[in-house]
């Protein structure tokens, strides 16, 4: 299962190498591994806790075998019950590896962006964004969002409910349902962690690209659809060039528009002479 997650991430990185070769290096960093591993462990921890409690479940409102399929009332009780027994992800995933990984992605992306523009700059060093409180604050709030307000818990909850529902409808005992939650989440936690790693890498890389462009006086940007494309992303591309501070049709100011979005944003009308003047280290 972990091998499957790593393969999917390698695929993503391989795709990214067209536009962002420095991301390639990220998968070899301990930060990357800790980030992915943290989420896999956290999701597994949530499921295990629910499974353990389900073994000793005595609340007949949660699942009564005589109802098949579940009534709306039972669904509500099951939903609430699972929610109450799932530890929140921020209790299971340490904050620092998440923030630290985002910082690595941010740095790698900014360096790569400058590399693409063909400059050796004073700004291109590991501490590019750390010296700028605005970007540090952005990464901090992104970390908080991921650990506290994102839909990670909802998605895991929905899958646990599904396993319980299917298990009970198949006539399993509570012990058997609990075992199947644990079995299933051995696999699910890896693929979920992979999805989170891909999506959040894309999120932070998108923000870092925006930061590099903004810092260098770029005025406009346009959306480029890559990968399979979809109506949301097509609309963004159809927006054409827009002000760097504006949002695209989807409401996003940069990629990605949704999980697994493979698009990128390009920046227009860079005044190369001015950029060179401001960034060239003079050597």
Please give the residue ranges that form the binding site for Zn ion (CB under 5 A): 230, 232-233, 257, 261, 263
Give the nearer residue to Zn ion in terms of CB position, either 217 or 227. Answer: 227
Least Å distance, CB 62 to Zn ion, is 38
Whole-angstrom distance, CA of residue 1 vs CA of residue 117: 39
Question: Alpha carbon of 33 to those of 38, 81, 96, 194, 230: distances in Å?
Answer: 8, 33, 13, 11, 31
Bond into 216 cis (ω within 30): no
Question: How far is CA 30 from its chain centroid?
Answer: 18
Give the nearer residue to Zn ion in terms of CB position, either 181 or 204. Answer: 204
Least Å distance, CB 219 to Zn ion, is 23
Give the nearer residue to Zn ion in terms of CB position, either 86 or 263. Answer: 263
Give the nearer residue to Zn ion in terms of CB position, either 60 or 229. Answer: 229
Give the nearer residue to Zn ion in terms of CB position, either 232 or 242. Answer: 232
Least Å distance, CB 204 to Zn ion, is 16
Whole-angstrom distance, CA of residue 76 vs CA of residue 58: 17
Least Å distance, CB 208 to Zn ion, is 17
Least Å distance, CB 265 to Zn ion, is 10
Joined together, the tokens standing for residue 169 give 């409808």
């Amino acid at each position: 299962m972990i091998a499957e997650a790593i393969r999917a991430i390698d695929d993503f990185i391989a795709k990214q190498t067209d536009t962002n070769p420095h991301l390639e290096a990220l998968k070899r960093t301990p930060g990357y591994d800790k980030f992915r591993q943290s989420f896999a462990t956290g999701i597994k921890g949530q499921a295990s806790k629910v499974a353990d409690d389900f073994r000793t479940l005595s609340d007949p409102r949660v699942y009564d075998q005589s109802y098949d399929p579940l009534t709306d009332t039972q669904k509500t009780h099951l939903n609430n019950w699972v929610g109450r027994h799932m530890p929140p992800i921020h209790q299971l995933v340490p904050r620092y590896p998440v923030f630290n990984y985002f910082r690595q992605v941010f740095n790698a992306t900014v360096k790569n962006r400058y590399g693409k523009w063909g400059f050796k700059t004073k700004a291109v060093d590991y501490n590019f964004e750390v010296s700028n409180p605005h970007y540090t604050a952005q990464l901090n709030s992104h970390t908080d969002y991921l650990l506290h307000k994102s839909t990670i818990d909802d998605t895991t909850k929905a899958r646990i409910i599904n396993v319980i529902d299917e298990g009970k409808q198949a006539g399993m005992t509570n012990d058997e349902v609990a075992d199947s939650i644990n079995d299933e989440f051995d696999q699910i936690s890896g693929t979920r962690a992979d999805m989170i790693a891909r999506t959040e890498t894309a999120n932070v890389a998108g923000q870092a690209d925006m930061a590099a462009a903004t810092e260098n006086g770029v005025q406009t940007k346009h959306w480029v659809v890559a990968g399979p494309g979809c109506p949301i992303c097509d609309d963004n591309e159809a927006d054409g060039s827009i002000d760097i501070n504006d949002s695209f049709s989807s409401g996003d100011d940069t990629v990605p528009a949704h999980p697994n979005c493979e698009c990128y944003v390009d920046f227009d009308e860079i005044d190369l002479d001015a950029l060179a003047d401001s960034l060239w280290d003079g050597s």
